[in-house]
Amino acid sequence: MSIDIELERSLTPGTGHVNHLNNAGASLATQPVLDAIAAHLLREATIGGYEAEHEAQATLESVYAGVATIIGAARDEIALVESSTAAWTAAFTSIRFTPGDRILTGRTEYVSNALNLLLAAERDGVEVVVVPDDEHGQISVDALRDAIDERTKLIAITHVPTSGGLVNPAAAVGRVANEAGVLYLLDACQSVGQRPIDVDALGCDMLCATGRKFLRAPRGTGFLYVRSTALDRLQPMLLDSHSGRWTGPRTYEMEAGARRFEEFESSRATRIGLGVAVDHALALGLDAIAARTSGLAEQLRQMLVAIPDVEVHDKGQDRCGIVTFSVAGVGAGDVQRALAARSINTSVTGPHFSQFDLPARGLGLLVRASPHYYNTEDELAQLVDVVSALG
């Protein structure tokens, strides 16, 4: 099924204002998402926040079903949280590390995850091992297998990094993790909503994602998946009145499923918006979204490398909708500003997001352009025109 781009653009008010090639930052939301959020906020203001929640109970429950469907999970394996980092840290801190435990990660691990690995190394005495890349620039599955020993407690990698079009071989990593019986935490923040995701095929025990990127949900939404069979190996760092129950002065119980990782308070309105965005992606089909998004990105790469003085830096065998490039003699910030002056949204990434990877490749700040399915070939050409004039 192919996507009706004109229809999708007519449902996306932002496309009338900007050439938005910063979907890896945050996508443009659709009108139905905006309407659903506004409608719930109005009900909160009209009848009361708790009462509006009660009224919307079935809709709120259906958000879990949608999120579960988009990653091939069961509904009770989903916790709704405010960000990918909130999901990742909830999962990570639920693992009890002892000095000498090893954590294996990849070179493109996301900054916030890496910072917490470094913190755990200092605080808990764990050893953080950065597994090298293979010849394609993706995590080496052979090196990963070789690095596993009896002290290895966790494999934590990023599926699609913030700083390039790489798609790591997450399913192959999952097979290695499962064979060794090692917990596997996958950061799928940039891949959910962009590509088909199936937690069983990936073999991950925990997966984190955000709403605002390729899922096109509002900011402040995200989720954590926890495989039901992994629950007894994890203990939430913190509980509250929603994730736990105070059953007696000295006793408590935890929520049965992944909701033990949630907090009571959250924006019900944006959560409903997340549900609408997820249903929209499911209706279009993740295969169609992936084909269109990766296709646009590949076209953009080809147009960019044809410009003298422009280098494209995406690595990996399988590449997705994130394009990173540099223009010789022009700083990434200047490129971004020149594009922004023409209402073309991109972002700048660099070593501060990716210390295990970019410095080792001799790379500094890079421009990141990230099309989504609703972008057009014309919009790519507009970016290329501006960049060509800079070189």
Q: Is 189 one of the binding residues for ligand PLP (CB under 6 A)? A: yes
Binding segment toward ligand PLP, per CB under 6 A, in 53-61, 77-85, 171-179, 236-244:
77-85
CB 195 to ligand PLP: min, Å: 13
Nearer to ligand PLP, 52 or 274 (CB): 274
Q: Is position 85 an interface residue for ligand PLP (rule: CB under 6 A)? A: yes
Scan residues 150-169 and list those touching ligand PLP (CB under 6 A). Answer: 158, 161-162
Considering beta carbons, is residue 92 or 310 the nearer one to ligand PLP? 92
| Single-letter amino acid, residue 317 | Q
187 binds ligand PLP (CB under 6 A): yes
Q: What are phi and psi of 203, to 5 degrees?
A: 70, 20
Kindly tell me which of 83 and 243 has the beta carbon lying closer to ligand PLP: 83
Residue closer to ligand PLP, measured from CB, 162 or 267: 162
CB of 110 to ligand PLP, least distance (A): 4
**Is residue 275 involved in binding ligand PLP (CB under 6 A)?**
no
Residue 94 touches ligand PLP, criterion: CB under 6 A:
no
Per-residue contact string for residues 103-122; x = within reach of ligand PLP by CB under 6 A: -------x-x----------
183, 185, 132, 194: which is closest to 160 by C-alpha? 194
| 131, 106 contact by CB (below 8 A) | yes
Residues 357-386 that bind ligand PLP (CB under 6 A): none
Q: Does 84 bind ligand PLP (CB under 6 A)?
A: yes
| Region near ligand PLP per CB under 6 A, out of 62-70, 186-194, 196-204, 305-313 | 186-194
The residue count for binding ligand PLP (CB under 6 A) is 13
Measured from the CB atom, is 92 or 110 closer to ligand PLP?
A: 110
**Residue 83 within binding range of ligand PLP, rule CB under 6 A:** yes
Rg of the chain on CA atoms, in Å: 21
CB of residue 208 to ligand PLP, shortest distance in Å: 7
Site for ligand PLP in 197-216 (CB under 6 A): 210
Half-sphere exposure at residue 384, Cβ-oriented, CA atoms within 13 angstroms: 20
For residue 186, what are its two tokens? 């996958």
Q: Does 190 bind ligand PLP (CB under 6 A)?
A: yes
Q: Residue 153: phi, psi to the nearest 5?
A: -105, -25
Q: Distances in Å between the alpha carbon of 204 and those of 74, 109, 186, 224?
A: 14, 16, 6, 12
Q: In angstroms, what is the minimal distance from the CB of 161 to ligand PLP?
A: 6
Check if the beta carbon of residue 277 is closer than 8 Å to that of residue 211. Answer: yes
Among residues 210 and 375, whose Cβ is nearest to ligand PLP?
Answer: 210
Query: Given the complex with ligand PLP, which of 66 and 222 has the nearer CB atom?
Result: 222
- Binding footprint of ligand PLP on the chain (CB under 6 A): 83-85, 110, 112, 158, 161-162, 187, 189-190, 210, 222
